[in-house]
Amino acid sequence: MAGGQKRIGKELAEVTKDPPEGITVSLVSEADIYNWDIQLEGPEDSPYAGGTFKLLLALPTDYPFKPPTLNFKTKVYHPNVSNDDKGSMCLGMLRSEEWKPSSKISGVLRTARNLLIEPNPDDAVETQIAEQYKSSRKDFDKIARDWTKKYAKA
Amino acid sequence: MADSNMQVDTPPGDQKNGEIDESLYSRQLYVLGHEAMKRMGSSNVLIVGLKGLGVEIAKNIALAGVKSLTLYDPTPATIADLSSQFFLRAEDVGTPRATATAPRVAELNSYVPVSVLESENITSDLNQLSRFQVVVLTSTPLKDQLTISEYCHQNGIYLVISDTFGLFGHIFTDFGKDFVVSDTSGEAVVSGIVAHISSEGLVSALDETRHGLEDGDYITFTEIQGMEGLNNAKPRQVTVKGKRPYTFTIGDVSGLGEYKSGGLFTQVKMPKFISFESFTTQLKKPELLISDYAKFDRPQQLHLGFQALHVFAQHHGGEYPRAHNDDDATEMLKYAQALADQQEEKVELEEKIIRELSYQARGDLSPMAAFFGGLAAQEVLKSISGKFHPIVQWLYFDSLESLPASVERSEETCKPLNCRYDGQIAVFGREFQERISNVKEFLVGAGAIGCEMLKNWAMMGLGTGPKGNISVTDMDSIEKSNLNRQFLFRPKDVGKLKSDCAAEAVQAMNPGLRWKINSLRDRVGPDTEHIFHEEFWQELHGVTNALDNVEARTYVDRRCVFFRKPLLESGTLGTKGNTQVVLPHLTESYSSSQDPPEKTFPMCTLRSFPNKIEHTIAWARSLLATYFVDPPESCNLYLSDPSYIDTTLKRGGNEKGTLESIRDYLVTEKPGNFDDCIIWARHQFEKQYNNAIQQLLYNFPKDSTTSSGTPFWSGPKRAPTPLKFDINNDTHFGFVVSAANLHAFNYGIDGKGTLVEQYKSVLGDMVIPEFTPNPGVKIQADDNDPDPNAQQGSAFDDAGELRKIEAALPPPNSLAGFRLTPVEFEKDDDTNYHIDFITASSNLRAENYNIPTADRHQTKFIAGKIIPAIATTTALVTGLVVLELYKIIDGKNNIEHYKNGFVNLALPFFGFSEPIASPKGTYLSKIGEVTIDKLWDRFEISDMTLKEFLEYFEEKGLDINMLSSDVSLLYASFYPPSKLKERYPLKLSDLVATVSKKPIPAHQKNVIFEIVAEDQSEQDVEIPYVMMRMNT
Q: Given a cut of 50, is residue B648 above it in pLDDT?
A: yes
> What mean pLDDT do residues B923-948 have?
93
Nearest by CB to B597, which of A65, A83, A87? A65
Give chain B positions within 8 Å (CB) of A10. Answer: 962, 1012, 1020
A2-151 has which CATH code? 3.10.110.10
Smallest Cβ distance to B779: which of A83, A97, A98?
A83
Average pLDDT over every residue of B58-73: 97
Tens digits of per-residue pLDDT, B397-429? Answer: 999 999 999 999 999 999 999 999 999 999 999
DSSP string, B844-901: HHHHHTT-----HHHHHHHHTT-----HHHHHHHHHHHHHHHHHHHHT---GGG--EE
Q: What is the pLDDT of residue B791?
A: 35
| CA–CA distance, B721 with A60 (Å, rounded to integer) | 38
Mean pLDDT (whole number) for B318-325: 97
A-chain CB neighbours of B961 within 8 Å are: 9, 13
Q: B526 in helix, strand or coil?
A: helix
pLDDT at position B18 is 61
Of A82, A127, A143, the CB nearest to B700: A127
The pLDDT tens digits of the residues spanning B612-626 come to 999 999 999 999 999
Amino acid B1020: pLDDT: 85
Active site residues of A: 90
B533-557, pLDDT tens digit by residue? 999 999 999 999 999 999 999 999 9
Q: What CA–CA distance (Å, rounded) separates B361 from B359?
A: 6
Which of B969, B1020, B1022 should we substitute to test contact with A (largest number of A Cβ atoms within 10 Å)? B969
Instruction: Please state, in angstroms and rounded to a whole number, the distance separating the CA atoms of residues B570 and B580.
Output: 6
At B806 the pLDDT is 82
CA dist A68 → A58, A73, A107, A108, B753 (Å): 6, 16, 12, 9, 48
Interface of B with A in 702-731 (CB under 8 A): 706-707, 712
How confident is the model over B83-93, as a mean pLDDT?
97
The reported pTM is: 0.87
Beta strands in A19-143 (DSSP E): 23-29, 32-41, 52-58, 69-72
- Any chain A CB within 8 A of the CB of B627? no
Which residues are CB-neighbours of B606 under 8 A, at least 6 positions away?
Answer: B615, B618, B619, B622
Question: How far does the CA of residue B246 sit from the closest CA of chain A (Å)?
Answer: 15
- Per-residue pLDDT for B832 more than 50? yes
Q: What is the 3-state secondary structure (H, E, C) of B38-62?
A: HHHCCCEEEEECCCHHHHHHHHHHH
With a cut of 60, say whether residue B298 has pLDDT above it: yes
Average pLDDT rounded to a whole number, residues B1002-1026:
88
B780 contact residues in A (CB cutoff 8 A)? 83, 128
* First CA to last CA distance, chain A: 38
Instruction: For A54-112, write each residue's pLDDT tens digit.
Output: 999 999 888 888 889 999 999 999 999 988 778 888 777 887 777 888 889 999 999 99
Alpha carbon of residue B674 to chain centroid: 40
Q: What is the reported pLDDT for B184?
A: 93
Q: Are B375 and B876 in contact (CB under 8 A)?
A: yes
Q: Residue B450 pLDDT > 50, yes or no? A: yes
Determine, for residues A1 and B591 on separate chains, whether the beta-carbon distance falls below 8 Å: yes
Which of A21-25, B155-159, B428-432, B798-802 has the weakest average pLDDT? B798-802
Residue B2 has pLDDT above 50, yes or no: no
- Could you read off the pLDDT of B865-890 as tens digits, one per residue? 999 999 999 999 999 999 999 999 99
Q: What is the pLDDT of residues B773-824, one digit of tens each?
A: 877 543 332 333 333 333 333 334 466 777 888 888 888 888 878 999 999 9
DSSP tag of B37: H
pLDDT bucket at B978, cuts 50 / 70 / 90: very high
Residue of A1, A76, A88, A90 to mutate for B, most B C-beta atoms under 10 A:
A1
Residue % of chain B over a pLDDT of 70: 94
Is residue B419 annotated as part of the catalytic site, yes or no?
Answer: no
| CB count in 10 Å sphere of residue B307 | 15
Interface test with B, best of A18, A30, A143 (most B CBs within 10 A): A30
What gap in Å lies between CA B296 and CA B292, rounded to an integer?
7
Element (H, E) at B411: helix B411-414
List, for residues B730-749, the tens digit of each pLDDT value.
999 999 999 999 999 999 99
Name the B residues in 175-234 with CB < 8 Å from any A CB.
Answer: 208
Contacts of A68 in chain B (CB under 8 A): none
Tens of pLDDT along B125-140? 999 999 999 999 999 9
State mean pLDDT over B453-463. Answer: 98
Give me the count of residues in chain A. Answer: 154
Asked whether residue B5 carries a pLDDT value surpassing 90, the answer given is: no
Residue that wins the pLDDT comparison between B608 and B300: B300
Residue B1003 has a CB neighbour count (10 Å cut-off) of 10
Which of the four pLDDT bands, split at 50, 70 and 90, describes residue B3? very low
Q: How far is B781 from chain A (nearest CA, A)?
A: 6
Q: What is the pLDDT of residue B776?
A: 54
pLDDT of residue B358: 98
Quote the pLDDT of residue B208. 66
DSSP string, B55-103: HHHHHHHHHH--SEEEEE--SBP-GGGGGT-TT--GGGTTSBHHHHHHH
Chain B from 733 to 792: CB within 8 A of any A CB = 777-782
Say yes or no for a CB contact (<8 Å) between A127 and B608. yes
- Write down the catalytic residue from B152, B419, B451, B604: B604
Q: How distant is the Cα of B604 from the closest Cα of chain A, in angstroms?
A: 5
Question: DSSP string spanning B352-403?
Answer: HHHHHHHHTTT---HHHHHHHHHHHHHHHHHHHH-BSPPP-SEEEEE-GGGS
- Residues in chain B within 8 Å Cβ distance of A34: 967
* pLDDT (tens digit per residue) in B890-933: 999 999 999 999 999 999 999 999 999 999 999 999 888 999 99
Residue A6 has a pLDDT of 83
Residue in chain A lying closest to B962 (CA):
A9
Percent above pLDDT 70 for chain A: 97
Q: What is the pLDDT of residues B144-156, one digit of tens each?
A: 999 999 999 999 9
Computed over every residue of chain B, the mean pLDDT equals 91
Measured distance CA(B1015)–CA(B902) in Å, rounded: 40
pLDDT digits (tens, 9 = 90+) for B349-372: 999 999 999 999 999 999 999 999
The SS3 assignment for B1016 reads coil
pLDDT value for B652:
54
**Eight-class DSSP state of B775:** T
DSSP-based three-state secondary structure for A39: strand
Give me the mean pLDDT over the B301-307 stretch. Answer: 97
Any idea what DSSP says for residue B228? Answer: G
CB contact under 8 A, B968 and A123: no
Among the listed residues B162, B266, B279, the one whose alpha carbon sits nearest the alpha carbon of residue B222: B266
- Asked if pLDDT for residue B490 goes beyond 80, the answer is yes
Radius of gyration (Cα) for chain A, nearest Å?
16
Lowest mean pLDDT among B38-42, B76-80, B1014-1018: B1014-1018
Q: Do B974 and A16 touch (CB under 8 A)?
A: yes
Residue A154: what pLDDT?
A: 63
